[in-house]
Structure formats: structure tokens, C-alpha cells
Amino acid sequence: MFRQTLGLSTSTGSPKAVQMVPGPRLGLALALVLALAGCAINPVQEGQVLLATVPAAQLAEARALETKGDTAGAAKYYLELAEKAKPPTREQLRIEAARAQLAGGQAKEADKVLSETSQKDLTQGQQQTALLLGADAALQLGRPQEAIDRLSRVQTTGLPTELRIQRLGTLAAAYRLQGQPEQAAAALDELDGMLKDPNQRLANQVSLVQGLAALGPAELGRLSKGGSSNLRGWAELAQMFGSATSADAALEQRYAAWRRGQLLHPALPNLPQGYFGAQAGGYVAKDQIKVLLPTSGGFAGGAFGAAVGAIREGILTAQRTDEAANRPQVTFADSGKGKPGALVAAAASGGAKYVIGPLQKGEVDALLAGPALPVPTLALNRGIKSGRSPANLFQYALSPEDEGTSVANAAWAAGHRSAYVLQPGAPWAERLVDAFRNQWMAVGGRIAGQKGYAEKGDTAGAVQGLLAGADKGAFVFLVASKEGARTLWSQIRAAGGLPAYATSLVNNGNFDPAADQALVGLNFVDIPWMLADDDGPLSRRTLRRTKPAIGGSDQRLYAMGVDAYRVVPRLTDLARRPGSFYSGQTGALSLDGAGRVHRQLVVGQFTATGVTLASTQAR
């Protein structure tokens, strides 16, 4: 995250023989560092001074590896150089290694390098850099609270403006993942005061207002009446924009009147246009998109064909909602008619500015194993291979693991610290539970008990055995279908009344006023689109009316098609702006250092009259 700010690229490779610069030059560098210590330390200047003691050719070789995208090799080179260096140059080289690893999506390795770096030998500036990088690693590893703790220890006095901006962006992202949108908004509000570029400010303000929408109507109402001066205004704008469908004349008049009454508020004059513009495609005239989807063989019909058709319809419907002047040309190709890399290259040579697809894991793995791609390409799945994606390749999937992770984050944000897991004995359920367990333990939660149940058997004994003597303040992670949850949730309440969080499996989008009374009070995570209650051109209401054949889980694939169309022109910007996200139909979409799109889902709850957005604010 910090490589651009510090003027370093990101790559790796194998070092040659390592020879460090002898004592006099090192002594001069240290003298310069000590001179800097007389005032506030600038970590960037300090790092440049310390690296001046490393032979220029060897340092250039490490940076060249980063430039080529070989971040793992660059990190190895830096670490081998560090073995021959003395403090504090040794620590600076380890910091460079961690920075390269983070740029390559190797957060676990970066976290290890930082944790094994001698703390007593770090200079004041290095301490700040290590905290910033450590927070970035923690965030990538799904430990937002740890990131917040580290960022709170950063001494911002003396930090260059770029690093202070990056700190606030990371802090906002951590608060958002922690389920604290109000605190995230406060960080973005502070960030707004530091930004100079009008376009950056507009993008930041759009993210701020979009993030506050996650509070839900009740919490927004509270904040708009009792929040601090700036946040109160932002909450009022979230309410105002949430009640509109476009930046039409009526909204512009309301907004202008609001600004006349809020002369000291920093909201920009063109915020309504920016807010609703962020919900459009983001293309310019004559842009071309090539979509690679499987349409032959087993994908020609049946369930697979319906799934592909839902994605296709989502893309095309989103395209139709764009203004004609900015509507790109969308063409489709069968991803089964050639090698993935060759298909992308052919699309680019044919004039495509962006590529969406392919869909199958094997096709994504083929792209991961290949060279950099000529144009931004959004694969609609995640490959098996880990590590950094080749340049211009991004991976986006409706992964079940995202749901397990989101349950852990939502439950932690709600104040729970102990969890009981109730799951069926099926491989798909184990994937969800593994993702939940990893994230729950990463944030500091405890698994108090775990029990399997037979989907077609008597589940009362399993529930009672799991929850006998349950911890107060704990919750149940319930992995079940909607039909199973009706029985299991009633049994959970009878066994002590612990709250429960389920996955989107319990929400098919059709509320049965009679049968679903058994689900009242049950929390679940889902994509925002499934909980929205609007009647816009991309809404579920419109889809049911115009394309009734798209139902069940294919509804979410339709929303995925919408988001794929809208996010692909924004991928480069998301990768560049720390803490940024795109508020999509399938969740708040953000990018990690490896080019993978992560979805932050919302929390819904069953009520007596239907499903509603639950508050995500920590208790």
C-alpha cells in the first residue's frame, strides 16, 4: 500500500553476492539520521538515508524485481541483504521486504517479517513505518481491530501528508470491516480535510456517504440528530440521497437548500452528481467491453446455462441503465473456444478496453499462471493459486467463504466474543465453517462449542447438547437452509435464547408471512441487493416483473453481473486508493494486494413483516 508514496515499485528476484558499504559511509548516514532526529522524524527521508548505505547496484536489482512483479523474489533479496547489514539499515531492508510482500498479496509473510524484526533497533521513523505496514498486513489478514490498534499508536507528527492520508484511508477501511461505519465516516471526514485534488475529495465524500448508509434508517436518524457537526450533516445527506433514485432537478434543489443552511459543512457542490454517478457504469463514449462466458458444452442449457444467463442479463441490464452518451459496446464470446490468455489478447487487439470473465476456476488458474494482461480483466471466479495476480488480472467471486467471514465480523462488531457452531455434515458447510472459524479466531473470538446435525433427522438433541450451559453473551453460527432454519431457530430459542447468525441460505427473497414467523429475530448475512426495498431498474422487484425465470440463487448471479459491469472500469482506481471501496449490489467491494475482490456483506434480520437491514453498529 505504501510503495507508491515512498517512490518504490513492487517486485522480486534472486540476489547476487551481497557486500555492504563499509563503516565511514554508514557513519555519515547515521549522522544524518541523528540530525533528522532533532526535529519530527520523516520516515520517508530517514529510509532513503539508511538505504544509501546499500550498494546502489544491489538496491537497483531488488527494485527492478519489484517492477517486474516478482515481489516474492524482491522480498527474498531484501532479506538476504539485511542479513549482512547492521542496525538500523538491517531493519530498513526488512521493512522493504515486508513492503514488497504486501504489494504481492503476501500479507502473512509480511506480518511474520515485521514481527521478527528487532523492535529495539528500530529508529523512531522506522517504528512509524512498521506500524503502518503492520496495520496494512492485519487488514489484509482480516484482523481489522489489530489494524486499528496499530494505527492508533502511529505518531502522525512529522509524517508526510501522503502517509497521513494513507493512514486515514486504512483506518477507515478497518473500521468499515469492523462493522463501525460511523467511525469509518469520521476517519474519511478527517481525510477530506487533507485532500487537495477536487476529484479525490469527491470520491472520498461519495465513499463517506455510501458507507454511512450501512447504519440503516434508525441509526442514521440518531446520527443526523445527535452526531458531531460534520457527521450530522453527512448522515442527513445519506438520508437525502437514499430517498432519491437520481441526481434530478428535485434532488439538486433540496441539496442546494441544505447547503445554504450548512455553510461550514465541507460537502462539495457536485456531490449528488458524484454520488449517483458512482452508481452508473463509469464508462466514456466508444468504450468496448468483451465478456467471456461459457456457452457451449455443459453450459448450453440446464442449471449451468441458467446461471450463465443470469450473469449475462445482469451485465446487459446495467448497460441499458447508463446514459446513451456513456454507454459502452458490450460483446460476448464463448470462453470455451480458446485458451483464456489468447482470448483476452484477442479482445484487446480487437479494441476492447476491458474484459469481464472467464468464469470457470480452471480458466482463471490459466490466467494466473500466465503473463500480464493487456487490459483490465475481471475474472468471475477465484483461482486456486495464491499470491499476486499478473498485472491487469482481478478476481471476483460470490464465494461462500465471504459469508463465513462476514458472519464473524458482524458478530464481533455486535459485541459477541464466544461462538457456538451448528452445522450439517456436508462438505459445503465445512467450507463455510472453516472460513468463519479462521476469521473469528483472527479477530480474537472463541469457539465455545461445535455440533453437527442430520439435515433430515431429529435436530433437537444436537441443539440441546450444544447449548447446555451456554456462555452469556455468546451467539450461534447457524449453517442451514431456510427450511432447516425454521426448526433449528425455534430450538435455539427454546434452549436458552442465544442470538444466531446464519448465511444467505436462509433468505430466498420470498417472505412467507405464515411459515417465516418461525424465523423472526434470526440474523443473516447477504448481499445488499437482496435486502433493498426499491423499485429501480436494477431492483429485485423489476427483475421479478421482467425476468421471472431468474430465481433462486441465480438472482445473486444477476446482481454479480451488474457489479462486474460497474466495477471493472474502477479497478485501477480501487487498487490505487487506500481504504477505498465500491458500494455494489453484492456488497462493499474492495481489492487486496493480490488483485482479489473482497465483498463486505450486510446483516439482515427476519421480522414479523419481512426481512430488514439490521444495524451493524457495535454495541
| pLDDT at 578 (0 to 100) | 61
What's the topology of domain 288-397+550-574?
A: Rossmann fold (3.40.50)
The pLDDT > 70 percentage for the chain reads 92
The superfamily (CATH) of domain 401-526+602-613 is: Response regulator (3.40.50.2300)
∠ Cα 236 202 136 (to 5°) = 100
Quick check: do 288-397+550-574 and 401-526+602-613 share a fold? yes
SS (H, E, C) 214-254: HHHHHHHHHHHHHCCHHHHHHHHHHHHHHCCCCCCHHHHHH
> Average pLDDT in the 491-519 region?
94
| pLDDT at 266 (0 to 100) | 96
| pLDDT at 36 (0 to 100) | 45
| pLDDT at 615 (0 to 100) | 61
Confidence check: pLDDT of 303 > 80: no
Confidence check: pLDDT of 38 > 70: no
Does pTM top 0.85 for this prediction? no
Contacts for 56 with CB less than 8 Å, ≥ 6 apart: none
Strand order in the sheet with 610-613: 446-453, 418-424, 475-478, 500-502, 523-526, 602-607, 610-613
Task: Pick 488 or 615 by higher pLDDT.
Answer: 488
Confidence check: pLDDT of 310 > 70: yes
Task: Pick 153 or 12 by higher pLDDT.
Answer: 153
The pLDDT > 90 percentage for the chain reads 64
Tell me the average pLDDT of the chain.
88
Cβ count near 164 (within 10 Å): 17
- Confidence tier at 19 by pLDDT (50, 70, 90): very low
Any idea what DSSP says for residue 297?
G
- Confidence tier at 282 by pLDDT (50, 70, 90): confident
Spatial distance between the Cα atoms of 554 and 533, rounded to a whole number of angstroms: 19
Which of 275-279, 336-340, 405-409 is predicted with the least confidence, judged by mean pLDDT? 275-279
- Structural domain boundaries in the chain: 23-159, 196-277, 288-397+550-574, 401-526+602-613
| pLDDT at 141 (0 to 100) | 85
| pLDDT at 41 (0 to 100) | 67
Instruction: Decide: helix, strand or coil at residue 589.
Output: strand
> Average pLDDT in the 580-589 region?
90
Confidence check: pLDDT of 220 > 60: yes
What's the topology of domain 23-159?
A: 1.25.40
What CA dihedral angle connects 305, 310, 313 and 319, to 10 degrees? -130
